[in-house]
Amino acid sequence: MAWTAKLIKHKGENRIAVYFEKNTVLITRIKQVEDAKWSQQKTVWHIPDTIENRERFKIEPLSHSFPSKEGIEHITKFIQWLSSKRYSPSTIKTYSEALKSFLIFYREKQIAEITNEDVVIYNNEYILKNNLSASYQNQIVNALKLFFKTIQDKQIIIGTIHRPKRAKVLPNVLSKEEVKLILNAHSNTKHKMMLSLIYSCGLRCGELLALQPVHIDSKRNIVLLKNSKGKKDRIVPLSSKILEMLRDYYKVYKPKTWLFEGQTIGIQYDARSLQLILKQALQKAGITKPATLHWLRHSYATHLLESGTDLRYIQELLGHNSSKTTEIYTHVSTKSIQQIKSPFDDL
Return the pLDDT at 158: 58
Question: Where a domain ends, among 160, 194, 213?
Answer: 160
Q: Is residue 166 included in any domain, yes or no?
A: no
| Position 168 pLDDT exceeds 80 | no
Residue 325: is its pLDDT beyond 90? no
What is the per-residue pLDDT for 252? 92
State whether 297 and 222 are in the same domain. yes
| Residue that terminates a domain, selected from 160, 193, 217 | 160
Is 287 or 231 the better-scoring residue by pLDDT?
287
Q: How far apart are CA 49 and CA 38, in angstroms?
A: 15
Query: By mean pLDDT, which of 151-165, 167-181, 248-262, 312-326 is the weakest?
Result: 151-165
Q: Which pLDDT band, with edges at 50, 70 and 90, does 65 fall under?
A: low
pTM: 0.60
- Does residue 347 fall inside a structural domain? no
Domain count, the chain: 3
Check residue 249 and give its pLDDT. Answer: 95
Average pLDDT for 51-69 = 68
User: For residue 311, which amino acid is it?
Assistant: L
- Do residues 200 and 111 share a domain? no
Same domain, 180 and 325: yes
154 shares a domain with 80: yes
Domain match, 81 and 138 both: yes
Do residues 326 and 255 both lie within one domain? yes
- Mean pLDDT for the chain? 83
In-domain check, residue 204: yes
Question: What confidence score (pLDDT) does residue 80 get?
Answer: 93
The residue that leads in pLDDT, 113 or 178, is 178
- Domain boundary (132, 160, 188) is at 160
Q: 216-217 and 44-48 as β-strands: parallel, antiparallel, unpaired?
A: unpaired
Lowest mean pLDDT among 53-57, 157-161, 265-269: 157-161
The answer to whether position 280 is within a domain reads yes
For residue 277, pLDDT beyond 90: yes
Residue 218 shares a structural domain with residue 312: yes
User: Are 196 and 123 part of one and the same domain?
Assistant: no
Average pLDDT over residues 226-235: 74
Tell me what pLDDT residue 115 has: 83
Q: How confident is the model at residue 63 (pLDDT cuts 50, 70, 90)?
A: very low
* CATH number of the domain within which 107 lies: 1.10.150.130
**CB 151 within 8 Å of CB 74:** yes
Local confidence band at 118 (pLDDT 50, 70, 90 cut-offs): confident
User: What is the pLDDT, as a whole number, of residue 14?
Assistant: 80
Query: Containing domain of residue 154, as a range?
Result: 69-160
Q: Is residue 344 part of a domain?
A: no
Is residue 242 domain-shared with residue 313, that is, in the same domain?
A: yes
Active site residues: 204, 229, 294, 297, 320, 329
What is the H or E stretch that residue 272 is in?
helix 271-285
Q: Which of 102-106, 153-157, 284-288, 322-326 has the highest mean pLDDT?
A: 284-288
For residue 59, give every residue at least 6 positions away whose Cβ sits within 8 Å of its Cβ, in sequence order, or none: 5, 6, 7, 16, 53
CATH classification of the domain holding 254? 1.10.443.10
Show the DSSP H helices in 106-133 as ranges: 116-122
Averaged pLDDT, 21-42: 83
| In a domain? residue 339 | no
In a domain, 243, yes or no: yes
Residue burial 67-89, b: 16+ Cβ < 10 Å; e: rest: bbeebeebbeebbeebeeeebee
